[in-house]
Amino acid sequence: MAVVSRGFGARRRESDPRLPPGQYLTEDFPVLSAGPTPRIEQDEWRFGIRTEGGDAVSWTWDEFMALPIEDVHTDIHCVTRWSKLGTSWRGVSLDTLLDTVDTDAEYAMAHSYGGYTTNVPLEDLLGGKAWVAFEFEGEPLDPEHGGPARLLVPHLYFWKSAKWVRGLTLMADDEPGFWEQNGYNMHGDPWTEERYW
């Protein structure tokens, strides 16, 4: 039985079935990151995938733009409890990208410019569930939101959607990334509140 806080509740917000437990709606787009915003030009940007066997593939910006591009409409949920509904993105599906490599790996570590890392099970990246996104609401992605490109894994808490993404390393075994080493959950499902260890 939760402790009741005397007099609380007068300013309560509307609830919405699209909100996972413990989340509240925000209209703006908060910025959360661990350090300064990296500034990466499109012509120096690369996205690469390295398999558990050491094979590697990578794309330049122009090569990336020649891949099939998808429109994505989705809700996003930050572990710090804000959620944003009905956001629009454009990007390349991880199905398209991972289709180019031969792997039996079950996990991926996403790596970012600036040194950030986060681990994601491969099954959470495949099946139309994840993208490398470079447009938000019809505009190029701002650097402070991860531009030129970020991972977009909207069914997990947003710290898994690594900003300034530059590649994936595929792994047979799970390993913690940056926030995971600092107390956050290895998986991060908002609907079961997988926030912390």
In the shown chain, the binding pattern of residues 51 to 80 toward other proteins, with x for contact by CB under 8 A and - for none, equals -----------------------------x
Cα separation of the two ends of the chain: 23
**Spatial contact of 113 and 166, defined as CB atoms under 8 Å apart:** yes
Cα separation, 51 vs 98, in Å, equals 10
Eight-state DSSP code of residue 184? B
* Residue 156, C-beta contacts closer than 8 angstroms, at least 6 positions apart: 120, 124, 187, 188, 189, 190
- Select the residue interacting with other proteins from 24, 44, 123, 137 (CB under 8 A): 24
Give the number of residues written for the chain: 197
**Is 35 or 138 the residue whose CB approaches other proteins more closely?**
35
**Is 17 or 68 the residue whose CB approaches other proteins more closely?**
17
Q: How far is the CB of 85 from other proteins (least distance, A)?
A: 14
Q: How far is the CB of 95 from other proteins (least distance, A)?
A: 32
* List of residues contacting other proteins (CB under 8 A): 2-13, 22, 24-26, 28, 30-38, 80-82, 114-115, 144, 179, 181-183, 196-197
